[in-house]
Amino acid sequence: MSVTTDTNIIGGVAAKFRTCPATGLDIDLAAQRLIKANAVAAIVFLAIGGLFGLLVALTRWPAVHLLSSDMFYLVLTAHGLDVLLVWIIFFEIAVLYFASAILLNCRLAAPRIAWVAFGLMMAGALLANVTVLQGEASVMFTSYVPLKAPPNFYLGLILFAVGALLGCFIFLGTLVIAKEEKTYEGSIPLVTFGALTACIIAVFTIASGAIILIPTWLWSLGYISHIDTVMYKLVWWAMGHSSQQINMAAQVAIWYAIPAILLGAKPLSEKVSRAAFLMYILFLQLASAHHMLVEPGISSEWKVFNTSYAIYLAVLGSMIHGMSIPGAIEAAQRRNGFTNGVFEWLRRAPWANPAWAGMFLSLVMFGFLGGISGVVLGTEQINIMLHNTLYVPGHFHATVVAGTTLAFMAITYLLVPLIFQREIIWPRLAKWQPYLFGLGAAGISLFMMGAGTLGVSRRHWDITFSDATLSFDYPPAAFLMLGLNGMSGILAAIGGGLFVVIIVASVLFGKKVDASNIVAALGPKPQKQMSDAVTSYGSAGTFHLPGTYILVSIFFTAFVLYYFVNWKYLSELWQMG
Amino acid sequence: MAKAKTETAEAVESVRIPPMQRLLDNHFLLLFLGVVVPTVLYLLWGVMELSQIPIAE
Ligand code: HEM
């Protein structure tokens, strides 16, 4: 099955390839090894970080209140670090290599440097983790000055970021090679374009990280005497929030990729979807500004421009994807023969395929829970009610857990047969995994948002204020919300644990995949053949999408209602007249 | 003659690529825009405003 050949390469480097039995693409073995290494590292850190998340949720459940206050802040720091940075970025590097070398059918640029990048990221992640676990660096992943961690904490983050930046350059270099060697015609495929968007945002993100973390490291070493707190916050969030926009672009690319692979779905309009990605490139990073909405010292012009005018253009980009992706699915399913009624295309989608189920749940939950609450938080006036409450972690668990993490889990179910060349072990269990994790993730998001709406602070060890001089009573509903959040955390942890066990067991003990079983190994799907929609340019060519129009109308109605409900809350907070 | 014809056809073809598609196909221009726009609108503008705050005596 694995035909290995040498090829002529610019720069005289010879790469070894195998031919993918499903797609016929030439797969660079060096790229394959690197994708495997980055994906495995990502999943290991997801397991560790997810466990920390469960401990945090159990501590915030007042009836359980598991950890002491010191341990709570230590574990919270480790949780944010391991899941938000390490799991997501390792996985994103795997996605970048996949979307370039594999989808463009060419060799990866500079695999040796890619291994150096991997080594730096791993060394940085370990160094930061060890420093946090030693107990002197409970500064949360935001590490706002004047909170000071030992130098190794910042050094770990810097090493990790340098590794990730090298990974981005390797992606860009691979695009250049593919163009030079003419391994694709015309424009790069849409999924690769989405990955390019993620890469561009990553370059800005990491550069901002360097601008702020290097001086902070020197400050921690004692070479710099003072770092201004507001200046720190401004530049830190250029990294902190933009890194979420890398996730956004990467996950949208995956939302296009999975229906393309499983159903043969093509975007409704290549041009419109690419224009939506362009809006991300230009405007999405400006969303960082909503973290500064309550800071004095910055003008309303800066705040309103960056969080309203500019960010609404990026939100428009998301709305376009939000219509284009279900539309592409409906168009493909109708072509696959599911034409009855308005929703047969959706009912007959491969719901037993964990890649499909994870992708679709991620899309819906991201839009309804994360997207709408994000616009609410990004509005200067309403933000004031929710700033620094548990609503904020509620919102971003809808985006990075229910959205990004679930999307990354979903594509892993395809990477295992395609790249690791193994069948998914225990397919019945795998079928349930996205639903379990999705339900848990939706629960933690909703219940944290619920508690936040009742005023409960984020990063708060004890909402009963048991040893405080001045007491304060939250409404009983807040306690209920935190209890339900703890239970949802248990569910999410079981779902996440199942994912880790299924993938590790499949990689180690799964049946080998070859030409005879590759299509079956991708899980249930309506097409008998693997589709080439993911590697080619082209639109679906139809706008007969009644189901999609109904779904999009439901979304807009929910959006408008919820947005105005929050303005109503605000009007009740400050009575006029 | 035939060769010249093909070349002209190719030239016409390359002229016809719409400007938007050229922009989207120019990955390094996109990289430039994606770094410069937030650097100016978020970072530089923000830093300029913060640096104008008078230092307490
Ligand atoms: C089993 C799954 C998870 C559970 C139960 C969980 C639960 C929680 C809880 C209860 C908090 C604390 C909120 C607070 O007190 O302020 C938290 C914080 C956080 N979580 Fe999770 N989480 C999970 C997975 C994830 C994942 C997969 C990500 C990222 C991809 C993530 C990112 C974060 C971040 C960035 C914070 C903020 C840390 C800070 O405030 O410094 N979580 N999580």
Any domain includes B51: yes
Any domain includes B7: no
pLDDT surpassing 70 at residue A12: no
Nearest CA to ligand 1 atom 37: A80
pLDDT surpassing 90 at residue A238: yes
Digit-coded pLDDT (tens) for A373-415: 998 988 888 888 899 999 999 999 999 999 999 999 999 999 9
| Residues of A whose CB is below 8 A from B20 | 271, 275
pLDDT surpassing 70 at residue A19: yes
Chain A closest CA to B1's CA: distance in Å? 27
Digit-coded pLDDT (tens) for A143-189: 999 999 999 999 999 999 999 999 999 999 999 999 999 999 889 99
Any domain includes B38: yes
- Residue scoring higher pLDDT (A209 or A6): A209
**Lowest-pLDDT range of A305-314, A488-497, A499-508, A519-528:** A305-314
Chain B closest CA to A204's CA: distance in Å? 5
Angle at A248 between CA A518 and CA A127, to 5 degrees: 90
CA distance A487 to A443: 8
Mutate to test the pocket of ligand 1, among A391, A401, A436, A482 (most ligand atoms within 8 A of CB): A401
Nearest CA to ligand 1 atom 19: A80
Give the atom of ligand 1 at the shortest distance from the alpha carbon of A393: 13
Mean pLDDT of all residues belonging to chain A:
93
CA distance A414 to A44: 18
What's the mean pLDDT in A72-80? 98
**What pLDDT is attached to residue A459?**
96
Longest Cα separation, chain B: 83
Number of structural domains (chain B) is 1
Q: Which residue of B has its CA nearest to A238?
A: B43
Question: Quick check: CB of A443 below 6 Å from ligand 1?
Answer: no
- Residues near A222 by Cβ (< 8 Å), separated by ≥ 6? none
Mutate to test the pocket of ligand 1, among A44, A51, A56 (most ligand atoms within 8 A of CB): A56
pTM of the complete model:
0.93
pLDDT band, very low/low/confident/very high, at A3 (cuts 50, 70, 90): very low
- What burial letters (b/e) apply to A423-448, b meaning 16+ CB within 10 Å? bbbebeebbebbebbbbbbbbbbbbb
**What pLDDT is attached to residue A525?**
83
What's the mean pLDDT in A308-318? 82
Percentage of the residues of chain A whose pLDDT score is greater than 70: 96
- Residue position matching structure tokens 């362009």: A278
**What pLDDT is attached to residue A11?**
43
Strands A26-28 and A17-19: antiparallel
Give the distance (Å) from ligand 1 centre to CA of residue A219: 28
Nearest CA to ligand 1 atom 27: A401
- Low-confidence residues of chain B, pLDDT below 50? 1-2
pLDDT surpassing 50 at residue A63: yes
Are B31 and A172 within 8 A, CB to CB? yes
Question: Quick check: CB of A257 below 6 Å from ligand 1?
Answer: no
Digit-coded pLDDT (tens) for A550-570: 999 999 999 999 999 999 888
What's the mean pLDDT in A103-126? 96
**What pLDDT is attached to residue A10?**
44
**What pLDDT is attached to residue B10?**
55
Give the atom of ligand 1 at the shortest distance from the alpha carbon of A400: 30
Percentage of the residues of chain A whose pLDDT score is greater than 90: 80
- Counting beta carbons within 10 angstroms of the beta carbon of residue B23, is it exposed (0 to 12), middle (13 to 18) or buried (19 or more)? middle
Are B46 and A298 within 8 A, CB to CB? yes
Any domain includes B21: yes
Neighbours of A4 (CB within 10 A): 9
Are B42 and A285 within 8 A, CB to CB? yes
Are A278 and B24 within 8 A, CB to CB? yes
Q: Which two tokens stand for residue A538?
A: 């082209």
Any domain includes B9: no
Q: Which two tokens stand for residue A342?
A: 């308005």
Give the atom of ligand 1 at the shortest distance from the alpha carbon of A141: 41
Q: Which residue of A has its CA nearest to B27?
A: A196
Neighbours of A317 (CB within 10 A): 25
Give the atom of ligand 1 at the shortest distance from the alpha carbon of A404: 30
Any domain includes B29: yes
Question: Quick check: CB of A56 below 6 Å from ligand 1?
Answer: yes
Any domain includes B6: no
Nearest by CB to residue B25, choosing from A187, A207, A299, is: A187
pLDDT band, very low/low/confident/very high, at A276 (cuts 50, 70, 90): very high
Are B43 and A235 within 8 A, CB to CB? yes
Nearest by CB to residue A281, choosing from B25, B30, B50, is: B30
CA distance A542 to A339: 14
Any domain includes B35: yes
Nearest CA to ligand 1 atom 21: A53
Count of A–B CB contacts within 8 Å? 83
Are A203 and B42 within 8 A, CB to CB? no
pLDDT band, very low/low/confident/very high, at A13 (cuts 50, 70, 90): low
**What pLDDT is attached to residue A60?**
98
The residue segments making up the domain with residue B53 are 17-57
Mutate to test the interface with B, among A100, A170, A204 (most CBs of B within 10 A): A204
The single-letter code of the amino acid at A88 is I
Distances (CA, A) of A75 to A67, A126, A133, A136, A466: 9, 15, 8, 12, 21
